[in-house]
């Protein structure tokens, strides 16, 4: 591996000895079986050391590409290294869709699912919630397949790479649909506190963008599925907010050409659910990210708690996004067992300044059982994490049973799941 190689944001320098890119399943199996320590590396969009190792990093992007649609079962099986933007167009052409997408189509399927990445929508689960089966290479080089509802399946989807190198995933499909997207500006803050569910239920997917300064919410991105009940055009005023008079980028000063089409222009689901176009870099990459999930019933109170910290948050912030995620049963999903609201922060690239603010945010959100996004920056202790996840101990036992020699363990897992090295 090239010395000094980093993640997408540049805040993590990988400590791996080398990066392996096997070209076949057999080569991957041999690579894993012969390694004392190995971790799968996706599209490098994590902002912490979840993917790092002192051993070998393995990318599955070089494996043969695979996409197979089962029309009768309404499912698609894809190779794990595919980025969402590389295959969603084909799904649409075949008459199918995924239930939701993240804001970036640039991320890989396996990496997004392994860390609990999500989009927005009151009834929409995280991307991992669509997984119905997965294939992985285990520590001894063998392949294993888990399917819903195998006993360990719910612990193996959002798995942080702790169980093996995922090679294929089977995802639930829904019929293809088209969408329109609008952006509103200047939503009064009191509407978030007093009418949160009304705001977030306005369309199939709704995102709020705020700079956590005095005054209204900066932008509301409203993504409406065509054919759903509701207006076919956007009124010029909505809950006190004004319809934007042109395309917008959520980060002030960034070019809106990087973003998916707005102003009600019809388009396929995969060209509207993400915020950013796959052919553009969404931003410079010089940023840090954090995200915390609380129960949706606590949304207004959690918003108020964060609002009291705005003087500390705003000076270090590029932008913050608020989204909703439906509950699921995946053991390490931040939305496990509860409909959730996610408070996302895109920070300036100043780790030393951001970390103390994260501690203040975590303290403020502690009464609401805030769960951090696994692939972003957080300081939540292992003791607190154990209290936040009912299946935390089960996951530690699953890791210890599946990987007794610690092939896939790294410093991140050792710190956050200390019991996985000796659970029985």
Distances (CA, A) of 163 to 23, 110, 423: 21, 13, 14
Structure confidence at residue 242 as a pLDDT band (50, 70, 90): very high
Buried b (16+ CB within 10 A) or exposed e, 202-213: bbbbbbbbbbbe
Summarised one tens digit per residue, pLDDT across range 345-389 is 999 999 999 999 999 999 999 999 999 999 999 999 999 999 999
> Does residue 282 surpass a pLDDT of 70?
no
Phi, psi of 209 (to 5 degrees): -120, 125
CB-CB contact of 17 with 1 (8 Å): yes
Percent residues over pLDDT 90 in the chain: 93
Across all residues in the chain, what is the average pLDDT? 95
Q: What is the pLDDT of residue 424?
A: 40
Give ∠ CA 300-351-58 in degrees, rounded to 5: 100
- Residue 284 pLDDT > 70: no
Question: Considering the entire predicted model, what is its pTM?
Answer: 0.97
CA distance 206 to 201: 7
pLDDT band per the 50, 70, 90 thresholds, residue 321: very high
Whole-Å CA distances, 324 to 194, 271, 344: 16, 20, 11
Spell out the CATH class of 67-175: alpha beta
Q: Do the domains spanning 67-175 and 178-381 agree at the CATH topology level?
A: no
The domain ranges of the chain are 67-175, 178-381
Task: Count the alpha carbons within 13 Å of 346 in the hemisphere toward its beta carbon.
Answer: 20
CA-to-CA dists, residue 249 to 67, 218, 285, 320, 390, angstroms: 32, 11, 15, 13, 38
CATH number (3.40.50.1110, 3.30.70.2520, 1.20.1640.10, 3.40.228.10) of 178-381 reads 3.30.70.2520
**Closest-CA residue to 105 (of 291, 278, 269):** 278
pLDDT band at 421 (very low <50, low <70, confident <90, very high): confident
Residue 61: per-residue pLDDT: 96
């Amino acid at each position: 591996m090239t010395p000094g190689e980093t993640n997408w944001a540049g805040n993590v320098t990988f400590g791996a000895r080398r990066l392996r890119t096997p070209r076949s399943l057999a080569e991957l199996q041999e690579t894993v079986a012969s390694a004392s320590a190995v971790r799968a590396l996706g599209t490098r969009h994590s902002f912490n050391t979840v993917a790092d190792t002192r051993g070998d990093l393995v990318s599955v992007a070089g494996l043969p590409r695979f996409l197979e649609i089962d029309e009768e079962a309404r499912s698609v099986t894809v190779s794990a290294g595919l980025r969402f933007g590389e295959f969603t167009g084909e799904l649409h052409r075949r008459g199918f869709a995924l239930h939701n997408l993240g804001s970036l189509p640039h991320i890989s399927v396996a990496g997004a699912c392994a860390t609990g990445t999500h989009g927005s929508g009151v009834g929409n689960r995280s991307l991992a919630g669509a997984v119905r089966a997965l294939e992985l290479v285990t520590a001894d080089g063998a392949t294993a397949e888990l399917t819903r509802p195998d006993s360990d399946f719910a612990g193996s989807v959002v798995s942080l790479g702790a169980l093996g190198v995922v090679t294929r995933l089977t995802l639930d499909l829904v019929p293809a649909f088209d969408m329109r997207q609008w952006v509103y500006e200047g939503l009064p803050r009191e509407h978030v506190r007093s009418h949160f569910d009304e705001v977030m239920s306005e369309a199939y997917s709704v995102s709020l963008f705020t700079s956590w300064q005095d005054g209204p919410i900066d932008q509301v991105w409203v993504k409406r599925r065509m054919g759903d009940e509701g207006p076919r055009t956007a009124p010029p005023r909505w809950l006190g907010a004004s319809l934007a008079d042109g395309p917008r980028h959520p980060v002030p000063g960034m070019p809106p050409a990087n973003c998916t089409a707005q102003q009600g222009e019809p388009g396929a689901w995969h060209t509207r659910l993400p915020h950013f176009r796959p052919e553009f870099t969404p931003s410079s990459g010089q940023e840090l990210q954090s995200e915390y999930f609380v129960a949706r019933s606590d949304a207004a109170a959690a918003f108020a708690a964060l609002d009291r910290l705005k003087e500390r948050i705003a000076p270090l912030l590029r932008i913050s996004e608020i989204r909703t995620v439906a509950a699921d049963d995946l053991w390490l999903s931040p939305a496990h067992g509860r409909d959730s609201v996610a408070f996302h922060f895109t920070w300036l690239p100043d780790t030393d300044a951001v970390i103390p603010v994260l501690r203040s945010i975590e303290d403020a959100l502690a009464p609401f059982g805030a769960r951090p996004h696994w692939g972003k920056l957080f300081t939540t202790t292992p003791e607190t994490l154990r209290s936040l996840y009912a299946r935390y101990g089960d996951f530690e036992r699953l890791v210890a049973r599946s990987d007794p020699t610690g092939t896939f363990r790294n410093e991140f897992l050792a710190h956050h799941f200390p019991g996985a090295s000796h659970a029985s």
